[in-house]
Amino acid sequence: MKKSIQPYVLQLISSNTLRSIKRAYYTCARLFTRDVPKLEVFIKVDDPYSLLLVQALPKLEEKYRVTITARVIINSDPVMFPELAMWNQHSVNDAMHLANVYRLQFPCSATGVTHQARSVFTASCAVQQKIDEGTSWTGITELLLAYWKGDQIDAFLSVDEAALEKRFKAHQHQLFLKGHYLPATTYYDGEWYWGVDRLDHLERRLIDEGYANQPNTQIEFNKTYAPLFQPFNFTDVKEKYSEPLTLFWSARSPYSYIALLQAVKLTIHYGIPLEVKPVLPMMMRGLYVPPKKAIYIFLDTKREAQKLGIDYGFLADPLGEGVERCYALLAYARENNKYLDYLLSFAKAVNAHGVRADTDSGMKKIVEGAGLSWQEAKLHLNNTDYKEEVTANQADIYQKGSWGVPVFRYKDIQVWGQDRLFVMEDAIRQNLNSHNSASSN
């Protein structure tokens, strides 16, 4: 019964109607008090995304009628970060991609910074004190940059470290109570926006609610997806240079669903092959995903899908038997040259149409939706040969610093996240352009 009603519950909590009701409530409360929107930003000194977010705040203040308060935190909940060492290294590399696309400052020396507990605490005290004094975001940025360059940061003589330590813990508690777990997050009236990546959703909301300072205000923080799929002229025979785009994908991952549809679109656009390599979901590999994290990912996927014109939210979670049945038919789909069609049919069915993959009736819809025979396919549902394949795929991405999916790889470049397709497109265009230039000489 629970699995039967799950898609309807998830559809309700992610519906535009419910979101509009919630926003109307906050808007009415704000009209009553005559307040402008208050953005609460949670930053962490040794978090690369926090450095980037602080640099984006002046632009928000310039474009919108908002007040911004920042709160420093110093700890990360290990339950939320199953591979914390990998996350830390990944975040530095990833921040460099974002800094490049938004022309923000992120020092190359950041990869060598040693985050000792004492230096992190001291720098945190200095940053919070500057925030309390009303220092500009540019001034806060300079202090954070100094830390990331490896410079010695000293707290002021008047700082009460014990009091600030209590405040940092209180800030962490506020973050948790309001429903999040990551630093570099912005909270505005019931909704969360992580890093610079999700500021486009915040901007769209502020524009819709009438808080833009100028008419016809354009969204600033959309550069990771707005320029995708630009026209490209290739004069040589493209198949000669058709290095594939590889996508490491999970049948359960919401972000993998978006990544698959976008990867198909990208590879068709550039006429290159797509290789999809499945891995087991984190929870089927013994990694715990707390409910708070799961619900944020679900709601975030909904808004990310919506802005890309992708249907999502009527979700039948395939965790467990549904994933196993999906993977059991991988070999059968390949043998019939329907591998990608099958993955697309599965992904759309469970994520957008509430089809239960743990039932025969559900799998029949998925299989036939891919143009395959259910009578033949059901004979392969007990196949377990996929286990060796998904284990090898997981070891492959682990070796290169990733533990979750979706992961994109093109040649020697690997990135994590459905919203990092811009890195892959840049690499593809550079590769094809180099051959273009060579063939024209």
For the cut 90, the answer to whether the pLDDT of residue 62 exceeds it is yes
Q: Domain 36-208 sits in which CATH superfamily?
A: Glutaredoxin (3.40.30.10)
Question: Is-same-fold flag (36-208; 238-433)?
Answer: yes
Task: Report, as an integer, the average pLDDT of 78-93.
Answer: 85
What pLDDT is stored for residue 60 in this prediction?
97
For the cut 60, the answer to whether the pLDDT of residue 194 exceeds it is yes
Answer left, alpha or beta for residue 309, where phi above 0 means left and psi between -120 and 50 means alpha: left
For the cut 90, the answer to whether the pLDDT of residue 193 exceeds it is yes
**Extents of the domains making up the chain:** 36-208, 238-433
DSSP 277: E
Handedness of CA 250, 348, 425, 268 (dihedral sign): positive
Rounded CA separation 167/73 (Å): 8
Task: Report, as an integer, the average pLDDT of 201-229.
Answer: 95
Distance, C-alpha 329 to centroid of its chain: 29
Cα angle value 132/137/142 (rounded, 5°)? 100
Segment among 167-181, 237-251, 279-293 with least mean pLDDT = 237-251
Rounded CA separation 97/92 (Å): 9
Average pLDDT score, the chain = 92
Fold of 238-433: Glutaredoxin (3.40.30)
**344: CB partners within 8 A, 6+ apart:** 260, 261, 264, 370
Tell me the helices (H) and strands (E) count for the chain, helix number first.
17, 8
DSSP 283: G
Q: DSSP of 131-196, one letter per residue?
A: HHTT--HHHHHHHHHHHHTT------TT--HHHHHHHHHHHHHHHHHHT---SSEEEETTEEEETT
Question: Quick check: 423 and 245 in contact, CB under 8 A?
Answer: no
pLDDT one-digit tens code per residue, 394-433: 999 999 988 899 999 999 999 999 999 999 999 999 988 8
pLDDT-derived band at 134, boundaries 50, 70, 90: very high
Question: Quick check: 43 and 71 in contact, CB under 8 A?
Answer: yes
pLDDT one-digit tens code per residue, 299-338: 999 999 999 999 999 999 999 999 999 999 999 999 999 9
What pLDDT is stored for residue 88 in this prediction?
86
Task: Name the nearest CA neighbour of 323 among 370, 386, 388.
Answer: 386
In our burial notation (b when 16+ CB lie closer than 10 A, e otherwise), range 160-189 reads: eeeebeebbeebbeebeeeebbbbbbbbbb
- Please give the single-letter amino acid code of residue 389: E
pLDDT one-digit tens code per residue, 379-395: 999 999 999 999 999 99
Phi, psi values for residue 408, rounded to 5°: -100, 145
